[in-house]
Amino acid sequence: MELKDLYSNSTSTMKSSLIRELVSSTKGIPNLISFAGGFPSPKTFPVDDLANLFKEVIIENGLDILQYGASEGDIQLKKALKHWEDNSELSDNEMLIVTGSTNGIYYFVKTFINPGDVIICEGPSFLGSLVAFEACGAEVVPVNMDEDGLIIEELENTIIRLKNEKKNIKFIYTIPDFQNPTGVTLSYSRRKKLIEVCISHNILILEDDPYGLLRYKGETIASLFDISRNEYQNKYIVTCVKSFSKILGPGLRIAYMMAHEEIINKMSSWLQKVIVSPDCVAERAVAYYINEGKLENHVKDIQEFYKPYLESMLIALEKYMPKEIRWTKPEGGIFLWLDCPEHINTDDLFEVSKNEKVTFIPGSKFYPSNYEKFNSLRLNFSFPSHEQIDEGIKRLGLLLSKQL
Amino acid sequence: MELKDLYSNSTSTMKSSLIRELVSSTKGIPNLISFAGGFPSPKTFPVDDLANLFKEVIIENGLDILQYGASEGDIQLKKALKHWEDNSELSDNEMLIVTGSTNGIYYFVKTFINPGDVIICEGPSFLGSLVAFEACGAEVVPVNMDEDGLIIEELENTIIRLKNEKKNIKFIYTIPDFQNPTGVTLSYSRRKKLIEVCISHNILILEDDPYGLLRYKGETIASLFDISRNEYQNKYIVTCVKSFSKILGPGLRIAYMMAHEEIINKMSSWLQKVIVSPDCVAERAVAYYINEGKLENHVKDIQEFYKPYLESMLIALEKYMPKEIRWTKPEGGIFLWLDCPEHINTDDLFEVSKNEKVTFIPGSKFYPSNYEKFNSLRLNFSFPSHEQIDEGIKRLGLLLSKQL
């Protein structure tokens, strides 16, 4: 017998993370400067605070939090989060604690997607979500962005075209703040238009917000979740997922969702079958961290920490990039996006750049199947040092110059 | 718009955990004696050790374990587990760390099950797995057990019948040690026969082993995983999942799988899409717990702790049960199973028993859809006190006497 004859269809056709393979192809290159990562800087992790908190939390609550926990999530963490969100109208039934954003997104997909249903996303978008969507049988259709995010006219045209094709569009997946991979933020006026379009077409919105707190300049824009509730009195159209991965450390696997209570209820039923409950010790530790008032200051510290790296990156790009190259100017997050002339293929550039000891993620990896574009790339600025940013962008600028 | 019009088919037809609903229907009853739980006793959680370990682990490894971890699981935990399993032949690629057994079982299902495929299970079996199987579109077919576990002749007849019906049987789900809900252990000779039947029919085995370490008397029987490798030189037929939920505490959400490396690889691809990685802090804490040599003694302590509760339960049953009632005599685990004459309906008995302030889980909850039986019930002995066991079984015995 061959095992492959036994695999489910979705397993046989499943894509693995191309990014992981790319990154591992550069492992072992000495002195490599990497802009490929998507990791927060470990220097931002509140190690000592968490070490003490975990001990405190287990001593004080061990008999409770080492036991099976509620599938809907720790009630104490929900209480702390409502306070943190400054949203007294949010009920416990409108929140779900999940083991990382990707986990929450998975339950949303399982709640709504039948094989063949359509999910519309930004083009480009976060690869991790795209492969999960496709693994669940969704057809994923991208809509172009500009410097203000998703282009609403293109979205409307896409919706109409898909509806004419009798496609079943279930939801729009968007990362409105400092988007992965572009760093672009959806403007306030587009947020409103997006909500209006979705209400009129009966299409849900999944708002993925892992970077919202990482704003280094400019004004915070209200979330789609808040706008839909406060300005449209609509409680079902937007489901929002927020994460502590970029704030306290992804190793903790704690994120939370806010949604209509019916949606929370269905996602919670899936959660029960997939993980039973989130890690109760980590949940309570995060609750303590918030309750002890540490989160607000820590977020400010992280913003101060990352801001100079974004500035270094923007300065280096200005200094070293040929004039034909354009890039986004994010006000936060950990990524920005480089657009090259059409004839440049960044999949090829990736191979060449390894020899020059600099690396990035080719833009093609951030599109759904059959929609790949090849003349752009993603740069991460949260992991390399200032010196590495300067030297790495210099190398990349030289490489690009040669190809123009 | 109504949300329910948007739900996926699997969400619309999904069953929630009937046990949770049953248990919550008894909440608030004062002085209720509950044999309904499936929870380990919090008295067995090594609270102080874990509190100190979590602090130590975060101080020493914070920068590493607060970061994104490997989807395949922490390499240090795998090393510790290989030592604990005393299996030097096991490679890292044959292990996967998961966030609880249910999580691992989910990946196994996603790896192999197309909607309509058949999973054979013990009848009765663990409800949490059954509802997850059905949510993934599997047809779940039970095979009867006796005091030695799954009846192999009935299994063979079921396989032949299903094959004649052109059904696609993918795997057999079994809990061979101190099964939930019956407490029954599959005998050594049946383990061998089960493996032989599965090899000859090309049907995989998923061995769920959450209770194997909780043996209070008798001799340990080799796992299906070990027997298949050592006695049949077969590396693909058995996938095994073991958990720390009943040993260190379910709140930690740490379990591990052992399987053919191709299967591990596919399950790991699903894990990446569903949770990205397990909780890295909890993973490393468990690794330290094992490496510091604490696990072996702790397991002995737990065995000593639970043993008298099983004995109390068996004594109370002997003392108070009418002669028409039969029950299993487990050598470990946390459950046993009561069989009543055919005319007794334990769903009804559950309602009556609430008034007498004693509760249990009716047997019907442990069967796949359309296979329910109604004349048995599950008793848990890991949670109530000795006094509660005596008094609770007395009440139950009286109730049953009235119905005979």
Indicate which of B5, B8, B268 best probes the interface with A, i.e. most A CBs within 10 Å of its own CB: B8
Which residue ranges of chain B lie beneath pLDDT 70? 1, 16-17
Task: Output the CA torsion sign for A255, A259, A264, A270.
Answer: negative
- Summarised one tens digit per residue, pLDDT across range A105-148 is 999 999 999 999 999 999 999 999 999 999 999 999 999 999 99
Picking from B39, B63, B99, the nearest residue to A99 by CB comes out as B99
Do A135 and B273 make contact, defined as CB atoms within 8 angstroms?
A: yes
Q: Is residue A290 pLDDT above 80, yes or no?
A: yes
For the cut 80, the answer to whether the pLDDT of residue A16 exceeds it is no
Nearest CA in chain B to A244: B66
Count of beta carbons in the 10 Å neighbourhood of residue B86: 7
Biggest CA pair distance of chain A: 64
Q: How many angstroms away from the CA of B133 is the closest CA of chain A?
A: 9
Instruction: Enter the tokens of residue B270.
Output: 């699903």
Query: Which residues of chain B does A106 touch, with a Cβ-Cβ cutoff of 8 Å?
Result: 273-275
**Residues A395-399: what's their mean pLDDT?**
97
Of residues B51, B113, B135, nearest to A62 (C-beta): B51
Look at residue A36 and tell me whether its pLDDT is greater than 70.
Answer: yes
CB contact under 8 A, A278 and B253: yes
At residue A1 the predicted structure's pLDDT band, cuts being 50, 70 and 90, is low
Out of A11, A113, A131, closest to residue B111 by CB: A11
Handedness of CA A278, A283, A284, A287 (dihedral sign): negative
The ipTM estimated for the assembled molecules is 0.95
Q: How many A-B residue pairs are in contact by the CB < 8 A criterion?
A: 244
Interchain pair A275, B99: CB under 8 A: yes
| Interstrand relation of B238-243 and B255-258 (parallel, antiparallel or unpaired) | antiparallel
Instruction: Tell if the CB–CB gap between A8 and B62 is shorter than 8 Å.
Output: no
Which of B16, B48, B275 shows the shortest C-beta gap to A253?
Answer: B275
Instruction: Measure CB to CB from residue B8 to each of A112, A277, A281 and give the nearest one.
Output: A112
Evaluate if residue A7 carries a pLDDT over 70.
yes
Q: What share of chain A is helix, strand, coil (3-state, %, to 5)?
A: 50, 15, 35
Search chain A and give the residue with CA nearest B383. Answer: A67
The pLDDT value recorded for residue B1 is 66
Please answer whether residues A258 and A225 qualify as being in contact, where contact means their C-beta atoms are separated by less than 8 angstroms. yes
pLDDT of res. B387: 97
Residue B29's pLDDT is what? 87
Residue carrying structure tokens 């509950």: B34
Contacting residues of B for A100, CB less than 8 Å apart: 275-276
The CA distance from B152 to the nearest CA of chain A, in Å, is: 22
Residue of A52, A275, A277 with shortest CB distance to B55: A52
Are the Cβ atoms of B248 and A3 closer than 8 angstroms? no
Q: Which of B47, B110, B245 sits opposite A62 (nearest CB)?
A: B47
The long-range contacts involving B340-346, CB below 8 angstroms and separated by at least 24 positions, are B340/B375, B340/B376, B340/B377, B340/B400, B341/B375, B341/B404, B342/B375, B343/B375, B344/B374, B344/B375, B344/B400, B344/B403, B344/B404, B345/B374, B345/B375, B346/B374, B346/B375, B346/B376, B346/B377
* CA–CA dist A257, A343 (Å, integer): 42
Interface test with A, best of B14, B54, B108 (most A CBs within 10 A): B54
Q: From start to end of B132-272, where are the E strands?
A: 139-146, 149-150, 169-174, 204-209, 238-243, 255-258
pLDDT per residue as tens digits for the range A346-390 = 999 999 999 999 999 999 999 998 999 999 999 999 989 999 999
In chain A, which residues have their Cβ closer than 8 Å to the Cβ of B4?
262
CB contact under 8 A, A112 and B11: yes
Amino acid (1-letter code) at residue B106: Y
> Which of the 8 DSSP states describes residue A187?
-
Cis amide bond preceding B181, omega within 30: yes
Band (pLDDT 50/70/90 cuts) for residue A17 is low
pLDDT value of position B17 = 67
User: Most B CBs within 10 Å: which of A21, A103, A253, A283, as the mutation test of the B interface?
Assistant: A253
Confidence of residue A2 (pLDDT cuts 50, 70, 90): confident
